[in-house]
Amino acid sequence: MTGQSSIRIGLLIPEVLGTYSDAGNATVLAQRARWRGIPAEILVINADSTPPAALDVYLLGGGEDTAQIFAAQWLGRHAQLCHALANHAQTLAVCAGLQVLGQSMRDRSGRDHPGLGVLDINTAPGRHRAVGEIVTTCAFPGIGQLIGFENHLGITTLGPHTGWLGAVVTGTGNGTRDHTGRRTDGVHTDRVIGSYLHGPILARNPALADHILGLIAGQDLAPIELPDQAAMRQTHPDPVAVRGRLRRRPRIPTQR
Amino acid sequence: MVLSGARRGWARFAVRAGCWAGWLSRRVGLGAGSIIGGRVTLWLDRGALSGLAAGRRVVLVSGTNGKTTTSHLLAAALRTTGPVAHNASGSNMADGAVAALAEVPDARYAVLEVDEWHLRAVARAVEPAVVILLNLTRDQLDRGAEVRAVAAALGAALAEHPRTLVVANADDPMVVWAASAASRVCWVAAGAGWVGDSVTCPRCGSILRADGPTWNCPCGLVRPTPDWWLTAQLLAGQGLSTRLELRLPGRCNMSNAALAVAAAAALGVSPRLAAAAMGGLDAVAGRFAVIQRGGQELRLLLAKNPAGWVETLCVLEQARSLLVVINAREADGRDTSWLWDVPFEGLPRRAIVASGERAADLGVRLSYAGLEHSTEPDPVAALAHLPAGKVDVVANYTAFRQLLGRLAKEATAP
Contact list in A for residue B141 (CB cut-off 8 A) is 19-20, 151
Please indicate if any CB of chain B lies within 8 Å of the CB of A64: yes
Q: Identify which of A16, A226, A235 has the shortest CB distance to residue B358.
A: A235
Mean pLDDT score of chain B: 91
Q: What is the pLDDT of residues B54-95, one digit of tens each?
A: 999 999 999 999 999 999 999 999 999 999 999 988 788 888
Instruction: Find chain A residues with C-beta within 8 A of B353's C-beta.
Output: none
Residue B331 has pLDDT above 90, yes or no: no
> What is the full DSSP assignment across A175-199?
S-B-TTS-BEE-EE-SSEEEES-BT
The packing angle between helices B271-278 and B251-266, to 10°, is 140
With CB atoms and an 8 Å threshold, state whether A21 touches B341. Answer: yes
Q: Closest approach of chain A CAs to the CA of B163, in angstroms?
A: 32
The SS3 of residue B336 is coil
Give the confidence band of B166 by pLDDT, cuts at 50, 70, 90. very high
pLDDT tens-digit readout, B94-107: 888 888 888 888 99
Asked if the C-beta of A163 comes within 8 angstroms of chain B's C-beta atoms, the answer is no
pLDDT, one tens digit per residue, over A12-57 is 999 889 888 999 999 999 999 999 999 999 999 998 899 999 999 9
* Chain A from 92 to 151: CB within 8 A of any B CB: 131-133, 149, 151
Fold of A7-121+185-224: Rossmann fold (3.40.50)
For residue B402, give every residue at least 6 positions away whose Cβ sits within 8 Å of its Cβ, in sequence order, or none.
B327, B379
According to the model, what pLDDT value does residue B146 have? 79
Neighbours of B195 (CB within 10 A): 17
Question: What positions of A carry a catalytic annotation?
Answer: 95, 198
**Angle value at C-alpha A130, between A124 and A133, nearest 5 degrees:** 140
Q: What is the pLDDT of residue B340?
A: 97
Query: Which of A18, A20, A203 comes nearest B364 by C-beta?
Result: A203
Q: Which residues have CB under 8 Å from B229's CB, separation 6+? A: B188, B189, B235, B236, B237
Alpha carbon B284 to its chain's center: 10
> Which among A198, A231, A234 has the least Cβ separation from residue B337?
A198
Q: Which of B198, B368, B371, B385 best probes binding to A when mutated, by most A CB atoms within 10 angstroms?
A: B368
Cα B321 to its chain centre, rounded Å, is: 26
**How far apart are alpha carbons B16 and A222 in whole angstroms?**
68
CATH of B290-412, one of 3.90.190, 1.10.1450, 3.40.50, 2.60.40: 3.90.190
CA-based nearest distance A125→chain B, Å: 16
Length in residues, chain A:
256
pLDDT of residue B14: 84
For chain A, state the CA radius of gyration: 18
Q: Which residues contact A128 (CB under 8 A, 6 or more apart)?
A: A153
Residue A159 sits at φ, ψ, to 5 deg, of: -65, 165
Q: Across B4-18, B202-216, B335-349, which has the greatest mean pLDDT? A: B335-349
Residues 227-246 of A with CB under 8 A from B: 227-229, 231-232, 234-235
Strands, DSSP E only, in B214-337? Answer: 214-216, 228-231, 234-237, 240-243, 290-293, 296-302, 321-325
Residue-wise over A129-139: b if at least 16 C-beta within 10 A, else e? ebbebbbbebb
More confident residue, A216 or B33: A216
Q: Shortest Cα distance from B136 to chain A (angstroms)?
A: 13
Cβ-based contacts under 8 A for chains A and B? 116
Inspect the interface and report whether the beta carbons of B334 and A149 lie closer than 8 Å: yes
Contact yes or no for A231 and B335 at CB 8 A: no
What does the alpha-carbon distance between residue B52 and residue B56 come to, in Å, rounded to a whole number? 8
* Strands (DSSP E) found in B217-344: 228-231, 234-237, 240-243, 290-293, 296-302, 321-325
**What is the band of B157 on the pLDDT scale with cuts at 50, 70, 90?**
very high
Q: Which residues of A touch B339 (CB under 8 A)?
A: 21
Which whole number is the average pLDDT over A247-255? 32
Residue B150 with chain A: CB contacts under 8 Å: none
ω into residue B377 within 30 of 0, thus cis?
no
DSSP symbol at A201: H
- What is the DSSP secondary-structure string of B194-216? --TT-SB-TTT-SBPEEETTEEE
Domain ranges of chain B: 54-278, 290-412
Are B197 and B137 in contact by the 8 Å Cβ rule? The answer is yes
CA distance A253 to chain B (A): 9
* Mean per-residue pLDDT, B185-213: 84
pLDDT tens profile A210-237:
999 999 998 889 889 999 999 998 876 5
Closest to B385 measured CA to CA, from B357, B407, B352, B337: B352
Alpha helices by DSSP H, listed for B79-211, are: 94-103, 119-126, 147-159, 173-179
Q: Which of B139, B197, B200 to mutate to test the interface with A (most CBs of A within 10 A)?
A: B200
ipTM of the complex: 0.91
CA distance A178 to chain B (A): 27
Tell me if the domain spanning B54-278 has CATH number 3.40.1190.10.
Answer: yes
d(CA A167, CA A169): 6
DSSP class of residue B330 equals: G
Q: How far apart are the first and last CA of chain B?
A: 51
List, for residues A73-130, the tens digit of each pLDDT value: 999 999 999 999 999 999 999 999 999 999 999 998 999 999 999 999 999 999 999 9
The whole model's pTM is what? Answer: 0.88
User: Under an 8 A CB cutoff, do B357 and A203 touch?
Assistant: no
User: What pLDDT is attached to residue A255?
Assistant: 30
Rounded to a whole number of angstroms, the distance from the CA of B18 to the nearest CA of chain A is 34
Over the stretch B376-401, which tens digit does the pLDDT of each residue have? 999 999 999 999 999 999 999 999 99
Domain ranges (residues) in chain A: 7-121+185-224
Q: Which residues in chain B are closer than 8 Å to A11, comparing Cβ atoms?
A: none
Alpha-carbon span A242 to A147, nearest angstrom: 15
Q: What is the pLDDT of residues A152-164, one digit of tens each?
A: 999 999 999 999 9
Say which of B138, B200, B364 has its CB closest to residue A15.
B200
Contact between B335 and A198 using a beta-carbon 8 Å cutoff:
yes
For the beta carbon of residue B330, count every other beta carbon within 10 angstroms: 10
Q: Within a 10 A sphere around the Cβ of B387, how many other Cβ atoms? A: 11
CB atoms A149 and B338 under 8 Å: no
Q: Is A158 helix (H, G, I), strand (E, B) or coil?
A: strand
Among residues of chain B, what percentage have pLDDT more than 90?
Answer: 66
Cβ of A20 within 8 Å of Cβ of B337? The answer is: yes
Contact B55, B29 (CB under 8 A): no
**Per-residue pLDDT, B63:** 94
The pLDDT assigned to B145 comes to 67
More confident residue, A222 or B145: A222
